[in-house]
Amino acid sequence: MKRNLLFILPLLLAAASGLSACQRLRARFPAETPTAAATSPAPSNAPTEIPATLTLSNPPVMLTDTDIPYAEIEGVQLTLLSLDVYSPQGCLQCPVMVMVHGGGWRTGDKANADVAAAKSQYFVSQGYVFVSVNYRLTPAVMHPVHAQDVAASLAWIHANIPAYGGDPGRMFLMGHSAGAHLAALVATDEGYLAAHGLGLDILDGVILLDGAGYDIPYVMQDQSEALQWLCREAFGDDPQTWQDASPLYHVAAGKDIPPFLLFHAGEREASRFTGQEMTDALTAAGVEAWLVPAPDKDHGTINGDIGLEGDWVTERIMEFLGGPVNIQP
């Protein structure tokens, strides 16, 4: 417990001084070049510098509110435009973690076990409000609809999360696979949130789990036929659209892009290569970014293991977030 207090104290002081999201994140991480630490393989257990997660004698009761509509569009199934909120009982101004599911832009659901089961329990136990969002899927829709829906969900969360004990000033965004692509796109192309009168500065950080869609032109030239088929179904055949849909091409300085923590699993070349491209571009634009190899994970376990006891990826994420929040008096 003493170790956690020593870790959290500088963050509380930073928050009290009114520092920006990026300044608060710099208080959590070393001053070295972000990519230097990112390129070394992570061990199979939690590194010693990562603080232990919070273990409470009486963990908070988790309150659940599901299938909340964040938009209504005639002819669209309501659950596709809905989200689930999991919050600690008694939470006031708790940080918020928003999860975007994967599934190749054509399958998946916010309530799937690998998306929400362990994650909701874990983040609530650490003093966070956890929100899992749905979006419309291909083939019914194509780009840019998926990202527009994610942005609409973020706008709803920003406006309404105080009613669930969440702090709209401390929102983090996480996505897996196709969801990682969408999270990265909404956090780099300011147009999606601007449509709701919001800026990229509503996000305190972005966590990407084994995404491969950060550079779609590269995928369409050099990757497997299966991945190219998924991209073609979601983004069509126009190279200009591929570029517009690629977060890499929207990275630029001076846009309030939040810090990024990227993971790539095993030997998955598309996520490794495009993750490195994305990290390099963010760093060149003055945005803090860390790329973490996960050689002991595959495309499924890097997502499904988050929240499980002893999972080192979970603890690395918690370090990025700034540690747990004890909401007990």
Please check the confidence at residue 67 and state whether its pLDDT lies above 90: yes
Higher pLDDT, 180 or 35: 180
Residue 320 has pLDDT above 50, yes or no: yes
Residue spans of the domains in the chain: they are 28-321
DSSP 240-282: HHHHHT-GGGG--TTS-PPPEEEEEETT-HHHHHHHHHHHHHH
Taking the CA atoms of the chain, what radius of gyration do you get in angstroms?
18
Q: What pLDDT was estimated at residue 267?
A: 83
Q: Are 177 and 104 in contact (CB under 8 A)?
A: yes
pLDDT score, position 17: 37
Determine how β-strand 94-100 pairs with β-strand 129-133. parallel
Separation CA 212–CA 200 (nearest Å) = 22
pLDDT digits (tens, 9 = 90+) for 28-39: 443 333 333 333
CB atoms near residue 23 (< 10 Å): 11
**What pLDDT is stored for residue 11 in this prediction?**
36
Report the chain's terminal Cα–Cα distance, integer Å: 15
Architecture of domain 28-321: 3-Layer(aba) Sandwich (3.40)
Q: What is the arithmetic mean of pLDDT over 254-278?
A: 95
The model's confidence at residue 254, banded by pLDDT at 50, 70 and 90, is very high
pLDDT at residue 186 in the model: 98
What is the mean predicted confidence (pLDDT) over 193-204?
98
Average pLDDT, rounded, for the chain: 86
Helix/strand/coil (H, E, C) string of 86-148?
A: EEECCCCCEEEEEEECCCCCCCCCCCCHHHHHHHHHHHHHCCCEEEEECCCCCCCCCCCHHHH
CA atoms within 13 A on the CB side of 103: 19
Specify the pTM.
0.85
pLDDT above 70 for 101: yes
Q: What is the pLDDT of residue 128?
A: 97
Q: Report residue 53's pLDDT band, with 50, 70 and 90 as the boundaries.
A: low
| Alpha-carbon gap, residue 37 to 131, rounded angstroms | 30
Evaluate whether 316 touches 42 at the Cβ level (below 8 Å): yes
